[in-house]
Chain A
């Protein structure tokens, strides 16, 4: 019998083990959120730590606010932590400096790293808001309702903006990369 995230989040302020369970469930997704946006394992680990520390500090509010999706709430914190980080460093790594192989240590490393590099390169050409939407929908696999909460727009507006982003990518990308970005429509 699996306890829902929302139930655990309600218990978390007085039951640290409940927060630990939430951590176990979401740490990979949060790390994935940060690593695909920073392209640095070390930075992603730091931001993952920041995200969960803030979540622990504010989890009492989650209960009080009656949120429908703990995951959306957690990703909002992750999104804010990333924004704060980017504002502070004011540095954007050149794609040529990124070691994609460091992020993908598997048997299919070369192929996967190449595709990851192509996807990242294509996404860099998009405006920040479009890039955000695509990553939240495709890599983070969040429904539009949760994306709307994170970026502060209506669900309908997010869907329209996503479609426009896909349209902009279509003519500029190899089929393989376009399909990956578009498949979660």
Chain B
């Protein structure tokens, strides 16, 4: 019995008048589930809010009281003036285009002993959160493409219970039994002049000059024209956005023709040129294949497409090896191109300037790699029962590095590692609108030896959140102080 059958059965138990109407109910359920999938979230908003959260000060119990005082308002003004003065050091040029010369990413790599970062499979580690992009890795990777984000609550059943079978039709050979794992030790460092400027006087009620060892960790700048720059040094993330000249009406006409790859690349490059972004240290660009595939399929089938944004990405290079997340998306520079406006309005840039390098054992058992690839990757999941099976064809793989977060229980801190991996590109989707661009599988033995042999089977009740029935107290669960 399929998931939809279960839904129909429950509906009929609740309302007996629905019995005998299965043929009518089935397509309705499929269509209405798709409605929720269609509500999309703006990628630049996700990135901007994430940056604000990462930069927010440590919560203090008196913060709410402080923000309302006249002293705070005065100090906020003083701070704004200092920040404005500081920003003049970083910005040059003017007018509509802001020329922002950013420090080129020249990596420093220090070689240290083998297995220097400990086991890569410690509890609390996770593969490939899409840092700074707002997308989830792993189970949400199927919906993580920035160009067309869908709402997928954690327990949301995939519409129509589709099972994907991944096929790789060539031979695979892995000969390297060891490879280099990199540990990021520095993302970015902001100029010391920023700290000096802030420490040269008081910031509101705080005299920073009396505090030793301070260094600026993040800065946010914006101008009256709607240009916004956010730099978070520890994570090495830079966010750029600006208001476009195009005015959205709330209803955007569909596109009858997909723009050419050259046009899209040109728009993205122009945006980066306007900000003087130094692209040394990043690989070749690629346009989000899933968004383009969707657009072209829609135009072919119905004559028009509503796809609004397409991302162009340049992967970060570490020792000339590109970095990719588990869903194949690039970790590096990502520019969001607005297809209606014919402009780009935002970009996220991942910078890594210093790393340690250590040798680790790699898996050479190709059958193990192919077993994982054929189920959709490390966290590939399948519905318990499926109405439809779609075959996704994978192409010849390339070697990449994939981000891997390693949490240390003792120190309470996380390392960001980059682990050797193999990336199988998606080359054929059997005519379906499939979102993921590649299957990326880490090759480190520590990681693969902890991956289950079977895919994760999604069932109606999520076992991770359900608990045995317990008495629930009747109390109001309000957050105190709100």
Where the two chains meet, the residues of A that have a C-beta atom closer than 8 Å to any C-beta of B are: 1-4, 7, 11, 13-21, 23-29, 31-32, 35-36, 41, 45, 48-49, 52-54, 56-61, 68-69, 71, 76-77, 80, 84, 99, 101-109, 111-112, 115-116, 119, 139-141, 143, 145-146, 148-150, 152-155, 163, 166, 170, 175-176, 179-180, 182-185
* Residues in A whose Cβ lies below 8 Å from that of B131: 20
Interface residues of A, dominant DSSP: helix
Using known A-B contacts A16-B54, A106-B40, A179-B11, determine if residue A29 contacts B153 with beta carbons closer than 8 Å: yes
Most buried by A among B150, B472, B476: B472
User: Which of B104-112, B168-176, B300-308 is the contact stretch?
Assistant: B300-308
Residue ID in chain B nearest A49 by CB atoms: B49
Residue ID in chain B nearest A81 by CB atoms: B482
Q: Do A52 and B151 have beta carbons less than 8 Å apart?
A: no
The distance from the CB of A129 to the nearest CB of chain B, in whole angstroms, is 14
Q: Do B379 and A102 have beta carbons less than 8 Å apart?
A: no
* Residues in B whose Cβ lies below 8 Å from that of A69: 465
Residue ID in chain B nearest A116 by CB atoms: B35
Q: How far is the CA of A56 from the CA of B474 in the complex (A)?
A: 27
The 5 closest A-B pairs by CB, nearest first: A180-B32, A152-B476, A32-B151, A106-B38, A57-B59
The total of chain B residues at the interface (CB under 8 A) is: 89
Residue ID in chain B nearest A60 by CB atoms: B59
Given contacts A32-B153, A71-B465, 8 further A-B contacts (CB under 8 A): A1-B450, A7-B124, A15-B412, A52-B49, A107-B306, A109-B306, A112-B38, A182-B14
Q: Do B121 and A1 have beta carbons less than 8 Å apart?
A: yes
The distance from the CB of B87 to the nearest CB of chain A, in whole angstroms, is 23
Other-chain contact of B477, A20, A35, A149 (Cβ < 8 Å) = A149
User: Which of B94-102, B132-140, B270-278, B328-336 is the contact stretch?
Assistant: B132-140
Using known A-B contacts A23-B53, A115-B32, A179-B11, determine if residue A108 contacts B41 with beta carbons closer than 8 Å: no
The distance from the CB of A23 to the nearest CB of chain B, in whole angstroms, is 6
Q: Do A104 and B38 have beta carbons less than 8 Å apart?
A: yes
Q: Decide yes or no whether B414 CB sits under 8 A from chain A.
A: yes
Q: Do A106 and B306 have beta carbons less than 8 Å apart?
A: yes
* Residues in A whose Cβ lies below 8 Å from that of B369: none
Q: Do B477 and A99 have beta carbons less than 8 Å apart?
A: no
The distance from the CB of B245 to the nearest CB of chain A, in whole angstroms, is 20
Q: Do A45 and B42 have beta carbons less than 8 Å apart?
A: yes
* Residues in B whose Cβ lies below 8 Å from that of A24: 50, 129-130, 134-137, 140
* Residues in A whose Cβ lies below 8 Å from that of B49: 23, 27, 48-49, 52
* Residues in B whose Cβ lies below 8 Å from that of A60: 59
Most buried by A among B45, B126, B413, B475: B45
Most buried by A among B136, B139, B143: B136
Q: Do A141 and B465 have beta carbons less than 8 Å apart?
A: no
Q: Decide yes or no whether B25 CB sits under 8 A from chain A.
A: yes
Other-chain contact of B36, A32, A150, A155 (Cβ < 8 Å) = A32
* Residues in A whose Cβ lies below 8 Å from that of B38: 104-106, 108-109, 112
Q: Do B29 and A179 have beta carbons less than 8 Å apart?
A: yes
Residue ID in chain A nearest B126 by CB atoms: A3
Using known A-B contacts A24-B135, A80-B479, A115-B31, determine if residue A105 contacts B306 with beta carbons closer than 8 Å: yes
